[in-house]
Amino acid sequence: MHLEIPESLELDSNLDLNQDEFDKVVLSRRSVRSYTSDAVPESIIQHCLELALLSPSSSNLQPWEFHWVRNSELKKQLAEFCYSQPSAKTASDLIVCVARTKTWSSHLDHLVKVLKSQPGVSESAIRYHQIELPNMLAQGIFGLKGHLRSLKYRLKGIRKVQARRPGGPSDLLLWAVKSTTLAIQTFILAVRAHGYDTCPMEGFDEVRVSRLLKLPSDAHIVMVVSVGKRAINGVYGKRTRLEKERFIKQY
């Protein structure tokens, strides 16, 4: 099993991809409610989390965190905070997926340093990262800066094409949650591709989970993802989807 991620973190786009293999991953993925007692190899979860970190994020600010609970005592407690649902109780591992609304600033410092070290990066790219991005995300005391920005956007938007978000703190939360959720789905599919299963859970007591993991105040728990080996009858019923015409609209 190749669990190494290439040094360059990148592969050529012209490589020969086997799309059937990808489709099989999506088609065989189900939310699993009950796992066998098999432990998922640590290297596989680490690898899938590292793949998740290669997901796109807004302005590459990577506002995500993955709190991976393997310790059995802590896992038991965490499963109780997920209402003791079987998917949590029987899981080999639980991943608390967190969106952070305040890490962007230090991440941005890092990105600016990297940009400046690269040859041929334009002044406008540097400016975007150093000046514009902080102006687009900063909240100020009580979110005042964010709320004012929201108002300014609304006024400017009357006459011309205008960004609308993120304005205030609830927009910033939405912003962080979106990028984090992209990474969660990469993780979910990666685990399936590597022969194991997951269930993304939104049923948990976020206050108690935060306290348990001592999460900082700007951490928002997006989902808790359970990981394990699918048990017989681990999936509830056949897959049900409404007709696709409801969801795909062509113009």
Footprint on residues 134-153 left by a copy of itself (CB under 8 A): none
Closest contact distance (angstroms) between CB of 145 and a copy of itself is 19
Measure the CA–CA gap between 103 and 73, rounded to whole angstroms: 29
Nearer to a copy of itself, 183 or 227 (CB): 183
Angle, vertex CA 141, rays to CA 136 and CA 152, nearest 5: 40
Question: Could you give the CA distance from residue 152 to residue 168 in angstroms, rounded to a whole number?
Answer: 12
Per DSSP, the three-state class of 228 is strand
Helix (H, G, I), strand (E, B) or coil at 196: coil
92 alpha-carbon distance from chain centroid: 20
Which residue, 141 or 251, is less far from a copy of itself as judged by CB?
251
Q: Determine the distance from the C-alpha atom of residue 170 to the mean position of all C-alpha atoms in its chain, rounded to a whole number.
A: 18
CA distance 106 to 110: 6
In whole angstroms, the minimum distance from the beta carbon of 117 to a copy of itself comes to 10
Minimum distance from CB of 149 to a copy of itself (Å)?
Answer: 15
- Using the contact rule CB under 8 A, the part of the chain among 33-41, 127-135, 139-147, 243-251 near a copy of itself is 243-251
- β-pairing verdict for 93-100 and 219-228: antiparallel
Within residues 13-32, the interface with a copy of itself by CB under 8 A covers 13, 15, 17-31
At 184, phi and psi to the nearest 5?
A: -60, -45
| Choice from 126, 148, 170, 211 touching a copy of itself (CB under 8 A) | 170
Strands 197-201 and 93-100: unpaired
Does 105 interact with a copy of itself (rule: CB under 8 A)?
Answer: no
Q: How far is the CB of 140 from a copy of itself (least distance, A)?
A: 20
Alpha-carbon span 101 to 63, nearest angstrom = 7
Task: Find the shortest distance in angstroms from Cβ 141 to a copy of itself.
Answer: 21
Site for a copy of itself in 117-136 (CB under 8 A): 118, 121, 125
CA gap 178, 173 in Å, rounded: 9
The nearer residue to a copy of itself, 125 or 138, going by C-beta atoms, is: 125
Write each residue from 174 to 213 as x if it is in contact with a copy of itself (CB under 8 A), else as -, in one continuous string.
Answer: xx-xx--xxxxxx-xxx-xxxx-x-xx-xxxxxxx----x
Secondary structure E strands in 202-240: 219-228
Binders of a copy of itself among 66-85, rule CB under 8 A?
66-71, 74, 80-81, 83
> Nearer Cβ to a copy of itself, position 134 or 203?
203
Nearer Cβ to a copy of itself (50/145): 50
# residues contacting a copy of itself (CB under 8 A): 110
**What's at 86, amino acid-wise?**
P
Site for a copy of itself in 31-70 (CB under 8 A): 31, 46, 49-51, 53-56, 58, 60, 62, 64-70
